[in-house]
Amino acid sequence: MKKPKRATAAKAKKGRKTSGSRAKAAPKRSAAPARRRASAVDDGAKETVKKTDKATIRGLRTRLKGALRRVAELEAAADTDFLLDIPNRRGFERELNRAIAYMKRYRASGALIVLDVDRLKPINDSFGHAAGDEVLKAIASTLTRQIRASDVVGRLGGDEFALLLWNLSETDAKAKAVIFEQAVDELSFVFRGQHVTAGASAGVALLGSQSDAVRALEQADAAMYVRKAHRRHEPRIRLVGS
């Protein structure tokens, strides 16, 4: 009678082991879907982060482009005369230095002309600065029409203009200076019912591979004052009743 008991006990023990194994194996079957779900969540989070990073980069690039565009606008404004919309002294000197650097490298030539308005102060004193501004605008427009696209006209300040002209001999440069003077002399204005003319005196400095911007401006300025002295016989301001 004892042997059957041992067999029954062995079977019971084997049954406990099998059920225990099954119980332990159950969590293993459910772990894989959990890992897949966790992996899917991680992938989704990573994709969201990537999209956010891309959007941030696009936003930063847009802001950078806007900032660079604004810097360019400010630099252009700093180099431009706000009244006449031509280069101011800073802008013109920059162009002059670039031109001389080019001439030194490629052995090109040109001319610098400094032109001073002869009778702007009497116009300002007689009719106000608004009248003087109108004269300056007309002169700037006249000079711009007289030059080529490669040339540059700028305002050095007050009633003084400068012109950078390419590929001119000394004779041609002096002839061009006379043309500028005549074009300004021929301008006529009406202020408070009176016809008014201005005038201009121009000085020339040649440019080449040995030129220096500061020295060239000094030479042209000195030549302009010599020319102005020769024109002093003209009336300082001519007022003719309309």
Give the whole-angstrom CA distance, residue 139 versus residue 211: 28
- Return the half-sphere exposure (C-beta side, CA atoms, 13 A cut-off) of residue 194: 12
CB-based contacts of 99: which residues, under 8 Å, 6+ apart?
Answer: 110, 152, 164, 166, 207
Cα separation of 208 and 211, whole Å?
Answer: 5
Pair 123, 131: CB distance under 8 Å: yes
Catalytic residue (choose from 159, 185, 212, 221): 159
Q: Which residues does residue 115 pair with via DSSP β-bridges, in sequence order?
A: 161, 202
- CB count within 10 Å of CB 162 equals 28
- For the question of residue 42 being annotated catalytic, the response is no
Rounded Cα–Cα distance for residues 113 and 178 (Å) = 10
CA-CA-CA-CA torsion sign (157, 158, 163, 169) = negative
| Residues labelled as active-site residues | 159
